[in-house]
Amino acid sequence: MTQVFQAFIDGQGTDSVSGETLSITNPATGQVVAQAAKCGQPDLEKAVAAAEKAGPAWAATPVGERSKVLLKAASLIMANQQELAELETMEHGSPIRKTMNFDVPLCAEQLEYFAGVARAMTGETLPVGPWCLSTTVREPLGIVGLITPWNFPALMVVWKLGAALVTGNTCIVKPPSIAPLTTLKLAEILTEAGAPAGTVNVVTGPGEKIGEAMVRHPKIAKIGFTGDTATGKRIMQVASDHVKPVGLELGGKNAFIVLDDADVDAAVQGAVFGAFFNSGQVCAAASRFYIHDSIYDDFAAKFVEAAKALRFGDPMDMATVIGPVAYAAHRDKIEAYIADAKQSGATLLLGGERPQTEETKDGYFVPPTIFGDCDQNARFMREEIFGPVVGLCRFSDTDEAIGLANDTPFGLSASLWTRDTAKGIALAGQIKAGTVWINEHLIIFCDTPWGGCKESGWGKDLSKMVLEEYTLTKHIYVDLTGQPEKPWYGILK
Protein backbone atom coordinates (compact mmCIF):
# COMPACT_ATOMS: atom_id res chain seq x y z
CA MET A 1 0.00 0.00 0.00
CA THR A 2 1.51 3.38 -0.98
CA GLN A 3 0.95 6.49 1.15
CA VAL A 4 -1.95 8.71 0.05
CA PHE A 5 -1.29 12.47 0.20
CA GLN A 6 -4.43 14.56 0.67
CA ALA A 7 -5.11 17.94 -0.89
CA PHE A 8 -4.74 20.89 1.53
CA ILE A 9 -7.83 23.07 1.92
CA ASP A 10 -8.85 25.43 4.73
CA GLY A 11 -5.85 24.59 6.87
CA GLN A 12 -6.10 20.82 6.71
CA GLY A 13 -5.52 17.73 4.63
CA THR A 14 -8.61 16.59 2.76
CA ASP A 15 -9.48 13.80 0.32
CA SER A 16 -10.76 14.79 -3.10
CA VAL A 17 -14.56 14.92 -3.26
CA SER A 18 -14.51 12.18 -5.93
CA GLY A 19 -12.16 10.04 -3.84
CA GLU A 20 -9.93 9.64 -6.91
CA THR A 21 -6.14 9.77 -6.70
CA LEU A 22 -3.10 10.34 -8.94
CA SER A 23 -0.12 7.96 -8.91
CA ILE A 24 3.28 9.45 -8.11
CA THR A 25 6.23 7.60 -9.67
CA ASN A 26 9.85 7.70 -8.59
CA PRO A 27 11.69 8.46 -11.86
CA ALA A 28 14.86 6.76 -10.64
CA THR A 29 13.12 3.38 -10.37
CA GLY A 30 9.92 3.65 -12.40
CA GLN A 31 7.99 2.50 -9.29
CA VAL A 32 4.76 4.10 -8.03
CA VAL A 33 5.69 5.45 -4.59
CA ALA A 34 2.64 7.46 -3.49
CA GLN A 35 -0.86 8.60 -4.37
CA ALA A 36 -2.14 12.17 -4.27
CA ALA A 37 -5.73 13.43 -4.29
CA LYS A 38 -7.10 14.01 -7.79
CA CYS A 39 -9.08 17.20 -7.27
CA GLY A 40 -11.86 18.50 -9.52
CA GLN A 41 -14.27 21.43 -9.65
CA PRO A 42 -15.98 20.64 -6.29
CA ASP A 43 -12.59 20.66 -4.53
CA LEU A 44 -11.70 23.93 -6.21
CA GLU A 45 -14.99 25.43 -4.98
CA LYS A 46 -14.10 24.38 -1.42
CA ALA A 47 -10.67 25.99 -1.77
CA VAL A 48 -12.17 29.20 -3.18
CA ALA A 49 -14.70 29.36 -0.32
CA ALA A 50 -11.89 28.89 2.23
CA ALA A 51 -9.68 31.50 0.57
CA GLU A 52 -12.59 33.94 0.36
CA LYS A 53 -13.45 33.50 4.03
CA ALA A 54 -9.81 34.00 5.10
CA GLY A 55 -9.22 36.96 2.76
CA PRO A 56 -10.41 40.06 4.69
CA ALA A 57 -8.63 39.21 7.95
CA TRP A 58 -5.37 38.29 6.18
CA ALA A 59 -5.46 41.44 4.06
CA ALA A 60 -6.00 43.49 7.24
CA THR A 61 -3.12 41.79 9.07
CA PRO A 62 -0.19 44.23 9.28
CA VAL A 63 2.59 43.36 6.85
CA GLY A 64 5.00 42.97 9.79
CA GLU A 65 2.82 40.16 11.18
CA ARG A 66 2.55 38.48 7.78
CA SER A 67 6.35 38.69 7.49
CA LYS A 68 6.75 36.89 10.81
CA VAL A 69 4.75 33.95 9.44
CA LEU A 70 7.17 33.68 6.51
CA LEU A 71 10.20 33.91 8.80
CA LYS A 72 8.82 31.18 11.04
CA ALA A 73 8.09 29.06 7.97
CA ALA A 74 11.67 29.58 6.77
CA SER A 75 13.03 28.17 10.01
CA LEU A 76 10.55 25.26 9.92
CA ILE A 77 11.65 24.49 6.35
CA MET A 78 15.22 24.12 7.61
CA ALA A 79 14.01 22.03 10.54
CA ASN A 80 12.34 19.74 7.97
CA GLN A 81 15.23 19.92 5.49
CA GLN A 82 15.85 16.17 5.28
CA GLU A 83 12.18 15.24 4.81
CA LEU A 84 11.58 17.92 2.16
CA ALA A 85 14.76 17.01 0.29
CA GLU A 86 13.94 13.30 0.28
CA LEU A 87 10.38 13.99 -0.84
CA GLU A 88 11.57 16.11 -3.76
CA THR A 89 14.23 13.59 -4.76
CA MET A 90 11.65 10.82 -4.65
CA GLU A 91 8.98 12.57 -6.71
CA HIS A 92 11.27 14.41 -9.15
CA GLY A 93 14.58 12.52 -9.30
CA SER A 94 16.73 15.53 -8.53
CA PRO A 95 19.85 14.33 -6.65
CA ILE A 96 19.64 14.49 -2.86
CA ARG A 97 22.94 16.34 -2.92
CA LYS A 98 21.12 19.17 -4.72
CA THR A 99 17.74 19.05 -2.95
CA MET A 100 19.45 19.08 0.49
CA ASN A 101 22.04 21.73 -0.25
CA PHE A 102 20.30 23.91 -2.83
CA ASP A 103 16.52 23.63 -3.19
CA VAL A 104 15.49 23.41 0.46
CA PRO A 105 17.86 26.07 1.86
CA LEU A 106 16.95 28.37 -1.02
CA CYS A 107 13.24 27.96 -0.25
CA ALA A 108 13.96 29.17 3.29
CA GLU A 109 16.10 32.04 2.04
CA GLN A 110 13.44 33.18 -0.38
CA LEU A 111 10.80 33.35 2.34
CA GLU A 112 13.24 35.40 4.45
CA TYR A 113 13.75 37.73 1.50
CA PHE A 114 10.03 38.24 0.85
CA ALA A 115 9.44 38.74 4.58
CA GLY A 116 11.95 41.59 4.55
CA VAL A 117 11.31 43.25 1.22
CA ALA A 118 7.53 43.44 1.69
CA ARG A 119 8.04 45.65 4.73
CA ALA A 120 9.80 48.18 2.52
CA MET A 121 6.88 48.34 0.07
CA THR A 122 5.65 51.91 -0.35
CA GLY A 123 3.05 54.04 -2.08
CA GLU A 124 3.77 57.47 -3.53
CA THR A 125 2.57 60.98 -2.84
CA LEU A 126 2.24 62.80 -6.15
CA PRO A 127 2.78 66.57 -6.52
CA VAL A 128 -0.44 67.21 -8.45
CA GLY A 129 -1.24 70.55 -6.82
CA PRO A 130 -1.53 72.28 -3.50
CA TRP A 131 -5.31 71.84 -3.53
CA CYS A 132 -5.25 68.07 -3.03
CA LEU A 133 -3.52 65.08 -1.59
CA SER A 134 -2.85 62.56 -4.35
CA THR A 135 -1.41 59.33 -3.12
CA THR A 136 -1.11 55.67 -4.05
CA VAL A 137 -1.57 52.66 -1.79
CA ARG A 138 -0.83 49.01 -2.51
CA GLU A 139 -3.60 46.54 -1.82
CA PRO A 140 -3.75 42.75 -2.07
CA LEU A 141 -5.52 41.46 -5.18
CA GLY A 142 -7.69 38.95 -3.27
CA ILE A 143 -7.54 35.26 -4.14
CA VAL A 144 -4.65 34.39 -6.43
CA GLY A 145 -4.19 31.13 -8.34
CA LEU A 146 -0.61 29.83 -8.56
CA ILE A 147 0.09 27.13 -11.15
CA THR A 148 3.57 25.63 -10.93
CA PRO A 149 5.81 23.28 -12.96
CA TRP A 150 7.68 20.13 -12.00
CA ASN A 151 11.29 21.10 -12.67
CA PHE A 152 11.90 22.64 -9.23
CA PRO A 153 8.73 21.56 -7.43
CA ALA A 154 9.48 23.31 -4.11
CA LEU A 155 11.33 26.40 -5.30
CA MET A 156 8.82 27.35 -7.98
CA VAL A 157 5.93 27.39 -5.54
CA VAL A 158 7.88 29.28 -2.87
CA TRP A 159 8.75 31.98 -5.45
CA LYS A 160 5.10 32.68 -5.94
CA LEU A 161 3.55 31.77 -2.62
CA GLY A 162 5.98 33.84 -0.56
CA ALA A 163 5.34 36.98 -2.60
CA ALA A 164 1.57 36.48 -2.83
CA LEU A 165 1.08 35.73 0.86
CA VAL A 166 3.23 38.47 2.31
CA THR A 167 1.38 41.06 0.22
CA GLY A 168 -1.91 39.95 1.84
CA ASN A 169 -3.45 37.66 -0.77
CA THR A 170 -4.98 34.29 -0.09
CA CYS A 171 -3.71 31.55 -2.37
CA ILE A 172 -4.81 28.47 -4.25
CA VAL A 173 -1.87 26.46 -5.57
CA LYS A 174 -2.08 23.89 -8.36
CA PRO A 175 1.23 22.00 -8.25
CA PRO A 176 2.46 19.73 -11.06
CA SER A 177 0.66 16.38 -11.17
CA ILE A 178 3.84 14.35 -11.34
CA ALA A 179 5.43 16.06 -8.32
CA PRO A 180 2.90 17.64 -5.91
CA LEU A 181 4.21 16.26 -2.61
CA THR A 182 6.71 18.93 -1.57
CA THR A 183 4.08 21.62 -2.22
CA LEU A 184 1.68 19.83 0.14
CA LYS A 185 4.37 19.64 2.81
CA LEU A 186 5.16 23.34 2.36
CA ALA A 187 1.49 24.24 2.83
CA GLU A 188 1.49 22.32 6.11
CA ILE A 189 4.67 24.12 7.20
CA LEU A 190 3.23 27.56 6.40
CA THR A 191 0.13 26.69 8.39
CA GLU A 192 2.22 25.51 11.34
CA ALA A 193 4.11 28.81 11.06
CA GLY A 194 0.88 30.74 11.54
CA ALA A 195 -0.70 31.21 8.10
CA PRO A 196 -4.41 31.15 9.01
CA ALA A 197 -6.66 28.40 7.63
CA GLY A 198 -7.72 29.29 4.08
CA THR A 199 -4.74 31.50 3.25
CA VAL A 200 -2.81 28.60 1.65
CA ASN A 201 -4.76 25.95 -0.23
CA VAL A 202 -3.34 23.26 -2.50
CA VAL A 203 -5.49 21.44 -5.05
CA THR A 204 -3.70 18.56 -6.74
CA GLY A 205 -5.00 17.29 -10.06
CA PRO A 206 -4.70 17.51 -13.84
CA GLY A 207 -3.80 20.92 -15.21
CA GLU A 208 -6.14 20.88 -18.20
CA LYS A 209 -9.07 20.40 -15.81
CA ILE A 210 -8.40 21.97 -12.44
CA GLY A 211 -5.70 24.41 -13.62
CA GLU A 212 -7.94 25.68 -16.36
CA ALA A 213 -10.91 25.83 -13.96
CA MET A 214 -8.78 28.14 -11.79
CA VAL A 215 -8.09 30.40 -14.74
CA ARG A 216 -11.84 30.57 -15.48
CA HIS A 217 -12.94 31.02 -11.88
CA PRO A 218 -14.56 34.46 -11.44
CA LYS A 219 -13.42 34.74 -7.81
CA ILE A 220 -9.73 34.18 -8.59
CA ALA A 221 -8.26 37.62 -9.26
CA LYS A 222 -4.95 36.66 -10.89
CA ILE A 223 -3.02 33.68 -12.15
CA GLY A 224 0.71 33.36 -11.51
CA PHE A 225 1.96 30.64 -13.89
CA THR A 226 5.31 28.99 -14.57
CA GLY A 227 5.40 26.29 -17.19
CA ASP A 228 5.48 25.48 -20.86
CA THR A 229 4.97 28.18 -23.50
CA ALA A 230 2.09 26.22 -25.10
CA THR A 231 0.29 26.03 -21.74
CA GLY A 232 0.96 29.73 -21.17
CA LYS A 233 -0.68 30.57 -24.50
CA ARG A 234 -3.73 28.50 -23.56
CA ILE A 235 -3.94 30.22 -20.15
CA MET A 236 -3.81 33.63 -21.83
CA GLN A 237 -6.68 32.66 -24.11
CA VAL A 238 -8.86 31.40 -21.28
CA ALA A 239 -7.96 34.34 -19.02
CA SER A 240 -8.94 36.82 -21.72
CA ASP A 241 -12.62 35.85 -21.32
CA HIS A 242 -12.44 37.32 -17.83
CA VAL A 243 -9.82 40.01 -18.50
CA LYS A 244 -7.86 38.25 -15.76
CA PRO A 245 -4.23 39.27 -15.28
CA VAL A 246 -1.71 36.47 -15.72
CA GLY A 247 2.00 36.38 -14.92
CA LEU A 248 3.74 34.02 -17.34
CA GLU A 249 7.19 32.52 -16.77
CA LEU A 250 7.55 30.25 -19.77
CA GLY A 251 10.17 28.33 -21.72
CA GLY A 252 13.58 29.30 -23.04
CA LYS A 253 16.22 28.34 -25.60
CA ASN A 254 19.13 30.07 -24.03
CA ALA A 255 22.30 31.11 -25.85
CA PHE A 256 25.80 30.70 -24.41
CA ILE A 257 28.21 32.88 -26.40
CA VAL A 258 31.97 32.49 -26.01
CA LEU A 259 33.97 35.33 -27.59
CA ASP A 260 37.54 34.89 -28.83
CA ASP A 261 39.00 36.70 -25.79
CA ALA A 262 37.16 34.53 -23.20
CA ASP A 263 38.82 32.53 -20.45
CA VAL A 264 38.07 29.14 -22.01
CA ASP A 265 38.54 27.15 -18.80
CA ALA A 266 36.11 29.39 -16.91
CA ALA A 267 33.64 29.17 -19.81
CA VAL A 268 33.86 25.37 -19.74
CA GLN A 269 33.06 25.29 -16.01
CA GLY A 270 30.11 27.62 -16.61
CA ALA A 271 28.96 25.52 -19.56
CA VAL A 272 28.84 22.32 -17.52
CA PHE A 273 26.82 24.02 -14.79
CA GLY A 274 24.60 25.97 -17.20
CA ALA A 275 23.78 22.97 -19.38
CA PHE A 276 23.57 20.03 -16.99
CA PHE A 277 22.39 21.38 -13.62
CA ASN A 278 19.10 19.59 -12.80
CA SER A 279 19.66 17.44 -15.94
CA GLY A 280 19.06 20.54 -18.05
CA GLN A 281 15.45 20.71 -16.83
CA VAL A 282 15.82 24.42 -16.25
CA CYS A 283 14.01 27.12 -18.22
CA ALA A 284 17.30 29.07 -18.36
CA ALA A 285 19.55 26.10 -19.19
CA ALA A 286 22.37 26.84 -21.64
CA SER A 287 21.19 25.12 -24.77
CA ARG A 288 22.58 26.81 -27.90
CA PHE A 289 26.35 27.35 -27.74
CA TYR A 290 27.99 29.87 -30.07
CA ILE A 291 31.78 29.54 -29.85
CA HIS A 292 34.31 31.71 -31.69
CA ASP A 293 36.05 29.72 -34.41
CA SER A 294 39.52 30.42 -32.98
CA ILE A 295 38.75 28.65 -29.67
CA TYR A 296 35.99 26.26 -30.78
CA ASP A 297 38.08 23.06 -30.83
CA ASP A 298 39.74 23.81 -27.48
CA PHE A 299 36.39 24.65 -25.86
CA ALA A 300 34.60 21.62 -27.33
CA ALA A 301 37.32 19.17 -26.22
CA LYS A 302 37.44 20.56 -22.66
CA PHE A 303 33.62 20.75 -22.39
CA VAL A 304 33.28 17.09 -23.40
CA GLU A 305 35.97 16.02 -20.90
CA ALA A 306 34.36 17.95 -18.07
CA ALA A 307 30.83 16.68 -18.85
CA LYS A 308 32.09 13.10 -19.11
CA ALA A 309 33.23 13.32 -15.49
CA LEU A 310 29.72 14.05 -14.14
CA ARG A 311 28.51 11.13 -12.06
CA PHE A 312 24.97 10.19 -12.91
CA GLY A 313 22.90 7.46 -11.31
CA ASP A 314 20.90 6.88 -8.11
CA PRO A 315 19.72 10.33 -6.95
CA MET A 316 19.58 9.18 -3.31
CA ASP A 317 23.36 8.71 -3.37
CA MET A 318 25.13 11.87 -2.11
CA ALA A 319 27.85 11.36 -4.75
CA THR A 320 25.37 11.59 -7.66
CA VAL A 321 25.26 14.94 -9.44
CA ILE A 322 22.89 14.00 -12.28
CA GLY A 323 19.73 12.02 -11.62
CA PRO A 324 17.04 10.81 -13.99
CA VAL A 325 14.75 13.16 -15.87
CA ALA A 326 11.36 13.61 -14.29
CA TYR A 327 9.10 11.11 -16.10
CA ALA A 328 9.08 8.49 -18.83
CA ALA A 329 7.33 10.53 -21.54
CA HIS A 330 9.76 13.38 -20.94
CA ARG A 331 12.72 10.98 -21.37
CA ASP A 332 11.13 9.83 -24.65
CA LYS A 333 10.72 13.44 -25.82
CA ILE A 334 14.37 14.22 -25.07
CA GLU A 335 15.45 11.08 -26.92
CA ALA A 336 13.40 12.20 -29.93
CA TYR A 337 15.40 15.46 -29.95
CA ILE A 338 18.63 13.44 -29.80
CA ALA A 339 17.44 11.43 -32.83
CA ASP A 340 16.61 14.68 -34.62
CA ALA A 341 20.08 16.05 -33.87
CA LYS A 342 21.72 12.91 -35.25
CA GLN A 343 19.58 13.08 -38.36
CA SER A 344 20.38 16.77 -38.88
CA GLY A 345 24.04 15.88 -39.46
CA ALA A 346 25.37 17.32 -36.18
CA THR A 347 28.43 15.51 -34.78
CA LEU A 348 27.75 13.54 -31.60
CA LEU A 349 30.58 14.45 -29.19
CA LEU A 350 29.24 12.90 -25.97
CA GLY A 351 26.30 10.79 -24.72
CA GLY A 352 23.33 10.26 -26.96
CA GLU A 353 22.53 6.68 -25.89
CA ARG A 354 20.25 5.40 -23.13
CA PRO A 355 22.47 4.08 -20.29
CA GLN A 356 22.02 0.42 -19.43
CA THR A 357 23.75 0.03 -16.07
CA GLU A 358 22.13 -1.91 -13.24
CA GLU A 359 21.63 1.40 -11.37
CA THR A 360 19.91 3.19 -14.25
CA LYS A 361 18.10 0.52 -16.25
CA ASP A 362 14.64 0.96 -14.66
CA GLY A 363 14.73 4.75 -14.33
CA TYR A 364 14.37 7.58 -16.85
CA PHE A 365 18.02 8.46 -17.37
CA VAL A 366 19.46 10.58 -20.16
CA PRO A 367 23.24 11.13 -20.06
CA PRO A 368 24.84 14.53 -20.70
CA THR A 369 24.77 14.82 -24.50
CA ILE A 370 26.77 17.26 -26.61
CA PHE A 371 26.51 17.78 -30.36
CA GLY A 372 29.06 19.77 -32.37
CA ASP A 373 28.89 21.74 -35.63
CA CYS A 374 25.12 22.10 -35.40
CA ASP A 375 22.70 23.63 -37.87
CA GLN A 376 20.98 26.62 -36.26
CA ASN A 377 17.78 25.66 -38.07
CA ALA A 378 17.62 22.04 -36.90
CA ARG A 379 14.56 21.36 -34.75
CA PHE A 380 16.63 20.49 -31.66
CA MET A 381 18.38 23.88 -31.94
CA ARG A 382 15.10 25.81 -32.15
CA GLU A 383 12.77 24.12 -29.64
CA GLU A 384 13.13 23.85 -25.90
CA ILE A 385 14.47 20.35 -25.06
CA PHE A 386 14.41 20.73 -21.27
CA GLY A 387 16.99 17.99 -20.86
CA PRO A 388 20.78 17.48 -20.79
CA VAL A 389 21.26 17.93 -24.53
CA VAL A 390 23.12 20.84 -26.12
CA GLY A 391 24.40 21.90 -29.52
CA LEU A 392 27.59 23.82 -30.39
CA CYS A 393 27.92 26.19 -33.38
CA ARG A 394 30.93 28.14 -34.64
CA PHE A 395 30.98 31.86 -35.41
CA SER A 396 33.67 34.17 -36.69
CA ASP A 397 32.16 37.61 -36.13
CA THR A 398 30.56 38.99 -32.94
CA ASP A 399 27.59 40.55 -34.78
CA GLU A 400 26.91 37.16 -36.31
CA ALA A 401 26.89 35.57 -32.82
CA ILE A 402 24.42 38.16 -31.51
CA GLY A 403 22.23 37.60 -34.58
CA LEU A 404 22.24 33.83 -33.97
CA ALA A 405 21.48 34.29 -30.27
CA ASN A 406 18.48 36.51 -31.08
CA ASP A 407 17.22 34.20 -33.81
CA THR A 408 14.67 32.45 -31.57
CA PRO A 409 11.05 32.97 -30.54
CA PHE A 410 12.20 32.83 -26.89
CA GLY A 411 13.68 35.62 -24.77
CA LEU A 412 14.44 34.29 -21.33
CA SER A 413 18.20 34.44 -20.79
CA ALA A 414 21.65 34.29 -22.39
CA SER A 415 25.27 34.46 -21.33
CA LEU A 416 28.36 36.10 -22.82
CA TRP A 417 31.90 35.02 -22.03
CA THR A 418 34.66 37.60 -22.54
CA ARG A 419 37.59 39.14 -20.68
CA ASP A 420 36.46 42.58 -21.91
CA THR A 421 33.72 43.55 -19.46
CA ALA A 422 32.87 46.81 -21.23
CA LYS A 423 32.34 44.94 -24.49
CA GLY A 424 30.25 42.35 -22.63
CA ILE A 425 27.98 45.04 -21.19
CA ALA A 426 27.56 46.70 -24.58
CA LEU A 427 26.68 43.36 -26.21
CA ALA A 428 24.27 42.49 -23.39
CA GLY A 429 22.24 45.49 -24.54
CA GLN A 430 21.84 43.89 -27.97
CA ILE A 431 20.43 40.60 -26.70
CA LYS A 432 16.65 40.31 -26.39
CA ALA A 433 16.25 38.45 -23.10
CA GLY A 434 15.08 39.06 -19.54
CA THR A 435 18.53 38.21 -18.12
CA VAL A 436 22.01 38.36 -19.63
CA TRP A 437 24.91 37.00 -17.60
CA ILE A 438 28.51 37.97 -18.33
CA ASN A 439 31.01 35.25 -17.45
CA GLU A 440 28.32 33.25 -15.65
CA HIS A 441 25.25 31.25 -16.59
CA LEU A 442 22.21 30.30 -14.50
CA ILE A 443 22.84 32.19 -11.32
CA ILE A 444 19.60 33.60 -9.85
CA PHE A 445 19.19 35.48 -6.57
CA CYS A 446 16.07 36.34 -4.55
CA ASP A 447 17.07 39.99 -4.91
CA THR A 448 17.19 40.01 -8.72
CA PRO A 449 14.17 40.07 -11.06
CA TRP A 450 13.42 36.94 -13.03
CA GLY A 451 11.26 36.75 -16.15
CA GLY A 452 11.58 36.88 -19.92
CA CYS A 453 10.27 38.52 -23.07
CA LYS A 454 8.93 37.25 -26.41
CA GLU A 455 7.51 33.72 -26.04
CA SER A 456 9.26 33.31 -22.70
CA GLY A 457 6.42 35.29 -21.14
CA TRP A 458 6.08 38.45 -19.13
CA GLY A 459 5.98 39.68 -15.57
CA LYS A 460 8.62 39.13 -12.92
CA ASP A 461 9.19 36.66 -10.16
CA LEU A 462 11.65 37.43 -7.34
CA SER A 463 13.13 40.83 -6.37
CA LYS A 464 11.04 43.71 -5.10
CA MET A 465 9.42 43.92 -8.55
CA VAL A 466 7.36 40.83 -7.76
CA LEU A 467 5.47 42.82 -5.12
CA GLU A 468 3.85 44.78 -7.93
CA GLU A 469 2.68 41.53 -9.52
CA TYR A 470 0.59 40.65 -6.47
CA THR A 471 -0.78 44.07 -5.48
CA LEU A 472 -3.18 46.60 -6.93
CA THR A 473 -1.78 50.11 -6.99
CA LYS A 474 -4.75 52.25 -6.01
CA HIS A 475 -4.74 56.03 -6.45
CA ILE A 476 -6.53 57.99 -3.72
CA TYR A 477 -7.32 61.64 -4.32
CA VAL A 478 -8.37 63.92 -1.46
CA ASP A 479 -9.75 67.40 -2.11
CA LEU A 480 -8.14 69.86 0.30
CA THR A 481 -9.74 73.09 -0.93
CA GLY A 482 -12.91 72.84 1.13
CA GLN A 483 -14.54 74.86 -1.70
CA PRO A 484 -17.74 73.73 -3.47
CA GLU A 485 -16.66 75.37 -6.76
CA LYS A 486 -13.59 74.19 -8.72
CA PRO A 487 -12.19 75.94 -11.80
CA TRP A 488 -12.73 72.84 -13.95
CA TYR A 489 -16.48 72.70 -13.17
CA GLY A 490 -16.73 75.72 -15.49
CA ILE A 491 -16.52 73.45 -18.50
CA LEU A 492 -20.12 72.35 -17.81
CA LYS A 493 -21.42 75.83 -17.07
Distances (CA, A) of 411 to 75, 77, 90, 267, 389: 36, 33, 32, 22, 19
**CA-wise closest residue to 443 among 302, 273, 234:** 273
- Smaller CB distance to ligand NDP: residue 314 or 384? 384
- For residue 267, the surrounding DSSP H or E stretch is helix 264-276
Choose the binding region for ligand NDP from 206-214, 317-325, 338-346, 370-378 (rule: CB under 6 A).
206-214
CA 127, CA 135: separation in Å to the nearest integer?
9
Report if residue 386 touches ligand NDP, rule: CB under 6 A.
yes
Distances (CA, A) of 52 to 65, 216, 482: 20, 16, 39
- Smaller CB distance to ligand NDP: residue 83 or 208? 208
CA 108, CA 70: separation in Å to the nearest integer?
9
Which residue among 283, 374, 393, 446 is the active-site one? Answer: 283
Report if residue 250 touches ligand NDP, rule: CB under 6 A.
yes
- Chain residue at closest Cβ approach to ligand NDP: 207
Report if residue 177 touches ligand NDP, rule: CB under 6 A.
yes
CB of 408 vs ligand NDP, minimal distance in Å: 13
CB of 242 vs ligand NDP, minimal distance in Å: 14
Site string for ligand NDP, 142-171 (x = CB under 6 A): -----xxxxx--------------------
| Site for ligand NDP, residues 398 to 457, rule: CB under 6 A | 412, 450, 452, 456
CB of 409 vs ligand NDP, minimal distance in Å: 13
CA 157, CA 171: separation in Å to the nearest integer?
11
Choose the binding region for ligand NDP from 33-41, 115-123, 129-137, 246-254 (rule: CB under 6 A).
246-254
Sign of the CA dihedral running 5, 9, 13, 15: negative
Choose the binding region for ligand NDP from 53-61, 172-180, 267-275, 401-409 (rule: CB under 6 A).
172-180
Catalytic (active site) residue 83: no
Report if residue 176 touches ligand NDP, rule: CB under 6 A.
yes
Which residue among 88, 249, 335, 384 is the active-site one? Answer: 249
- Strand residue runs (E) in 191-324: 200-202, 220-226, 246-249, 254-258, 286-292
Q: In what order do the strands lie in the sheet with 389-395?
A: 347-350, 369-372, 389-395, 286-292, 254-258, 413-417, 435-438
Q: Are 262 and 418 in contact (CB under 8 A)?
A: yes
Choose the binding region for ligand NDP from 80-88, 231-239, 336-344, 349-357 (rule: CB under 6 A).
231-239
CB of 175 vs ligand NDP, minimal distance in Å: 6
Residues 6 or more apart in contact with residue 305 via CB below 8 angstroms: none
Report if residue 388 touches ligand NDP, rule: CB under 6 A.
no
| Partners of residue 225 on adjacent β-strands | 147, 248
CB of 384 vs ligand NDP, minimal distance in Å: 5
Percentages (nearest 5) of helix, strand, coil residues in the chain: 40, 25, 35
Catalytic (active site) residue 249: yes
3-state secondary structure of 443: coil
List interacting residues with ligand NDP (CB under 6 A). Answer: 147-151, 174, 176-177, 206-208, 211-212, 215, 226-228, 231, 234-235, 249-252, 283, 384, 386, 412, 450, 452, 456
Q: Catalytic residue numbers?
A: 249, 283
